[in-house]
Copies of this chain bind each other. A is one copy, B any other.
Amino acid sequence: MDASAARICYEDFEVGSVRTFGPRRVTREEIIEFATEFDPQPMHLDDKAAEKSMLKSLSGSGWHTCAIMMRMIYDGLLHESSSLGAPGVEEMRWVRPMRPDDELTITLTCLGKRESKSRPQVGVVSYRLEMTNAKGEVVLTSSYSGFFGKRNPGAAS
């Protein structure tokens, strides 16, 4: 949303601050629905095929894990922020599979922030993200950056 209406703008991110989002439960039906459309590898669709795979039992597509991560970040942060999108992902690891009935939690640590050189009304915030399941096992880690509008583009930061 417009920075003038957003509760969280570029200025509000503190380096070292930590936010947590979730838990978000994932169902077997969701896993199969996503995989059927976007990643129909047998280990994401069929129990017997999954048992024979490296992952040992049915697991979600890694891209489904990412899509759920996105929604959790939206619900926990972006929906009330001046987010302007993201340029990409520096690194991402699918450390463990996402399983049916997993309850996922995200920890988002602000690693840094800088002003955009080309757009004075925009700042770039960088993060380290970790997603864990209910056992506390790491499912996904990522480093990425996002663009945020400034509340006061003219002010010194």
- CB of A53 within 8 Å of the partner chain: yes
Contact A89 B91 (CB under 8 A): yes
- CB of A154 within 8 Å of the partner chain: no
Contact A70 B61 (CB under 8 A): yes
Contact B71 A38 (CB under 8 A): yes
In the assembled complex, the CB of A119 is this many whole angstroms from the nearest CB of chain B, namely: 8
In the assembled complex, the CB of A79 is this many whole angstroms from the nearest CB of chain B, namely: 8
Q: A20-42 interface mask toward B, CB cutoff 8 Å, 1 = contact, 0 = none?
A: 00000000000000100111111
Contact B78 A41 (CB under 8 A): yes
Q: Which residue in chain B gives the minimum CB-CB distance to A73? A: B39
- CB of A16 within 8 Å of the partner chain: no
- CB of A93 within 8 Å of the partner chain: yes
Residues of A within 8 A of B (CB): 1-2, 34, 37-43, 52-55, 61-63, 66-68, 70-71, 74, 78-79, 83-94, 122, 147
Between A and B, 23 residue pairs with Cβ closer than 8 Å are: A2-B52, A37-B67, A37-B71, A39-B70, A39-B71, A40-B74, A41-B74, A41-B78, A41-B83, A54-B84, A54-B147, A61-B70, A62-B88, A63-B70, A85-B94, A88-B91, A88-B92, A88-B93, A88-B94, A89-B89, A89-B91, A89-B92, A90-B91
